[in-house]
Amino acid sequence: MIRLTWRQFRTQATVVSGILAAVTVLLAATGPQLVHLYDISIVPCAARGDCSDAANALASRFHLLQGLGTVLVVVPAVIGVFWGAPLVARELETGTYELAWTQSVPRWRWLAVKLGLAGLASVAVAGLLSLMLTWWSSPIDRVNADPFSVFDQRGIVPLGYAAFAFALGVAAGLLLRRTLAAMAVTLVVFAAVRVAVTRWVRPNLLAPLRLVSAVQPPGSGSFASLAPPQPADWVLSDQVINAAGRVIGQNGAISLGGGRYGFVFGRTVAGGRMTLQGVGPCPTGSPRWVPADSRAPRSTGPPGSVSPGWTSGRC
């Protein structure tokens, strides 16, 4: 059964191996350059403090290749549509299952071998691509310090997406028994699930933490700004409240770079507060995140003095 499955899968496997090889060559050729550039531009400037120019130079130099990251968004969908959906649907549609199921191989083994081989190949392809791109992008990721924006394209996440897309494709094929319909449904459902997970599910997987800061009165600049404890922390929402307790701005924060969030002084906010909600490590230092679900008194103290020592929920 393994030999038959391989025989049916051979052409596709060869094509994909070719593409993988091409990507490997491309990344192997440019990766060392990227590391070298990082070493001579970012490392020295980090010692001095400000790296934005060097970071921009690095990013623009490899601008096109960074687009390869989106390959890892597309590959699981392609796997689901072209490997998952037709796997069983084509046999049902063309009637060849009647041929396969009346050979001396029980149906459960027929399915197990097909699922095993194609599923393993799916996860392996996504894994290899992710491994290579995670390695290749590591200098850029260090400069950007924004791991949540590329969360879907690094490490083991693409493996999970590939396994899901493959299983989704097979299930759609089994239910619809039509290859083309199964492919279309797989694509639509996969895209929908992916958007839903990124936008609505993932922010809620962990109870968010909160950072509250008294807004400094005008005079310290034209911005009220607040930075999460770590630049890489994931800010989910922000809010500015004036002294009267009215919300005068939310989720319209201006990203100031370097992980800072700010609000333009339009109205008087003296005595007001600025709040960030986000995902980051639990409180360790100051200023710190506190769990959002704790009933904090609306603190009016200076930044860093907000509800010390509160731990509940995940912390």
The residue among 101 and 151 lying less far from other proteins, judged by its C-beta, is: 101
Q: Binding of other proteins at residue 99 (CB under 8 A)?
A: yes
Sign of the four-CA dihedral 281, 282, 284, 285: positive
Tokens standing for 234? 């994931």
CA 269, CA 218: separation in Å to the nearest integer?
Answer: 8
Among 47, 48, 49, 108, binds other proteins (CB under 8 A): 108
> Out of 39, 50, 53, 98, which residue is the one contacting other proteins (CB under 8 A)?
98
Q: 121 with 13: CB under 8 angstroms? A: yes
What is the rounded CA–CA span in Å between residue 104 and residue 2?
Answer: 14
Judged by CB under 8 A, the residue of 19, 28, 105, 270 near other proteins is: 105
Query: DSSP strand E in 22-151: where?
Result: none
Q: Which of 18, 106, 245, 252 binds other proteins (CB under 8 A)?
A: 106
Tokens at 222, concatenated: 């034209």
Task: Name the residue nearer to other proteins (CB basis): 100 or 193.
Answer: 100
263 contacts 223 by C-beta, under 8 angstroms: yes
Site string for other proteins, 75-94 (x = CB under 8 A): -------------------x
Does position 48 interact with other proteins (CB under 8 A)? The reply is no
Q: Is 3 in the site for other proteins (CB under 8 A)?
A: yes
Cross-sheet strand order for the sheet of 209-214: 247-250, 234-241, 273-279, 209-214, 290-291
- Residue among 4, 37, 71, 128 that touches other proteins (CB under 8 A): 4
Q: Of 98-106, 148-156, 259-267, 281-289, which part binds other proteins (CB under 8 A)?
A: 98-106
Q: Does 96 bind other proteins (CB under 8 A)?
A: yes
Cis peptide before 287 (omega within 30 of 0): yes
Note whether 101 binds other proteins by CB under 8 A: yes
Q: Is 251 in the site for other proteins (CB under 8 A)?
A: no
CB of 162 to other proteins, least distance (A): 24
Look-up: residue for tokens 């339009």?
266
Compute the chain's Rg from CA coordinates: 25
Count other C-beta atoms under 10 Å from residue 296's C-beta: 14
- Under the binding rule (CB under 8 A), the answer on residue 14 touching other proteins is no
**Closest to other proteins by CB, 7 or 199:** 7
Type of residue numbered 28: A
Collapse the DSSP code of 256 into the 3-class scheme (helix H, G, I; strand E, B; otherwise coil) and give the result: strand
- Cα gap 239→251, rounded to integer Å: 6
Q: Interface with other proteins includes 102 (CB under 8 A)? A: yes
> How long is the chain?
315
Distance CA 182, CA 194 (A): 18
- Tokens found for residue 46: 């980090």
Asked if 112 is part of the footprint of other proteins (rule: CB under 8 A), the reply reads no
Closer Cβ to other proteins, 108 or 200, answer by number: 108
Half-sphere exposure of 295 (CA within 13 A, CB side): 0
Kindly state the smallest distance separating residue 182's Cβ from other proteins, in Å: 18
Query: By CB under 8 A, how many residues form the interface with other proteins?
Result: 20
Using the contact rule CB under 8 A, the part of the chain among 38-46, 79-87, 99-107, 173-181 near other proteins is: 99-107
Closest approach of other proteins to the CB of residue 19, in Å: 21
For residues 85 and 274, which CB has a smaller minimum distance to other proteins in the complex?
85
The residues binding other proteins (CB under 8 A) are 1, 3-4, 7-8, 11, 94-96, 98-108
